């Protein structure tokens, strides 16, 4: 049973994500600060919250967090956890961790937040974390900011349209990031989490 460490930056709803990981076969531990995640073999950056508020908490840990990720530690980032991986966020007008290239921008749609089940178009080739999940599967989104697909520099696994296409899933090395909430996305969300947890067992 792989251990997964959820990084608690004080704004995420950890309970539902933790339960989803446990159902997928992971043992879950919550960490506050680098002293508690420095030995993590798998990391989760949870969703819910605002880019600027999250970075206020994470900024003192940024080097330690980047070091763990750059060391190849499998990482799942959800919603705002995905957003702070990018270079810059308009929400808070501040720098992110810079692990993904691009800017997280306010979405160009008159009705925000984007709170809906929306279909995702997968890019090719299909990533292993998406195994068994059909193209155009609907996942649950709730957000007002995202990275425009046209501005993402690399690693896009899937896009969704709301006003304009935006990045819905991305990968950088051992990091998988979703703008949607897999823990709230029924069977296919559980499948994605299960695929990710199984991949941890395959990692050195």
Tokens representing 31 are 């960490």
Q: What is the pLDDT of residues 108-143, one digit of tens each?
A: 999 999 999 999 999 988 899 999 999 999 999 999
- Among residues 79, 91, 114, 143, the one annotated as catalytic is 79
Under 8 Å between Cβ of 99 and 63: no
Alpha carbon distance 8, 58 (integer Å): 9
Active site residue 79: yes
Active site residue 181: yes
Under 8 Å between Cβ of 55 and 18: no
Helix axes 186-202, 14-23, angle to 10 degrees: 70
- The strand pairing partners of 64, in sequence order, are none
What are the residue ranges of helices labelled H in 14-108? 14-23, 34-37, 51-58, 62-70, 80-83
| Residue 125 DSSP one-character state | S
Going from N- to C-terminal start, the domains of the chain cover 3-202
- Among residues 91, 114, 143, 181, the one annotated as catalytic is 181
pLDDT, position 41 = 93
Alpha carbon distance 5, 28 (integer Å): 6
Which residues 6+ apart lie within 8 Å of 155 measured at CB? Answer: 100, 170, 171, 172
Which residues 6+ apart lie within 8 Å of 96 measured at CB? Answer: 51, 55, 83, 84, 85, 86, 87, 88, 89, 104
- Among residues 91, 114, 143, 183, the one annotated as catalytic is 183
Active site residue 151: no
Q: What is the pLDDT of residues 71-106, one digit of tens each?
A: 999 999 999 999 999 999 999 999 999 999 999 999
Confidence check: pLDDT of 168 > 70: yes
pLDDT, position 203 = 56
Domain 3-202 = CATH 3.40.50.880: yes
Torsions phi, psi for 194 (to 5 deg)? -60, -40
């Amino acid at each position: 049973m792989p251990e997964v460490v959820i990084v608690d930056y004080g704004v995420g709803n950890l309970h539902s994500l933790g339960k989803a990981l446990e159902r997928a076969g992971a043992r879950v531990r919550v960490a506050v600060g680098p002293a508690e995640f420095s030995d993590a073999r798998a990391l989760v950056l949870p969703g819910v919250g605002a880019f600027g508020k999250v970075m206020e908490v994470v900024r003192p840990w940024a080097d330690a967090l980047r070091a763990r990720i750059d060391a190849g530690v499998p990482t799942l980032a959800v919603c705002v956890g995905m957003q702070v991986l990018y270079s810059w966020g308009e929400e808070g007008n501040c720098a992110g961790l810079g692990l993904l290239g691009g800017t997280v921008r306010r979405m160009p749609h008159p009705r925000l937040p984007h709170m809906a089940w929306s279909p995702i178009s997968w890019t090719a080739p299909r990533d292993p974390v998406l195994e068994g999940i059909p193209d155009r599967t609907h996942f649950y989104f709730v957000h007002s900011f995202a990275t425009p697909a046209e501005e993402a520099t690399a690693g896009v696994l899937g896009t969704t349209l709301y006003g304009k296409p935006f990045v819905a899933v991305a990968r950088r090395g051992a990091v998988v990031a979703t703008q949607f909430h897999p823990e709230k996305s029924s069977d296919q969300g559980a499948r994605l989490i299960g695929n990710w947890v199984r991949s941890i067992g395959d990692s050195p």
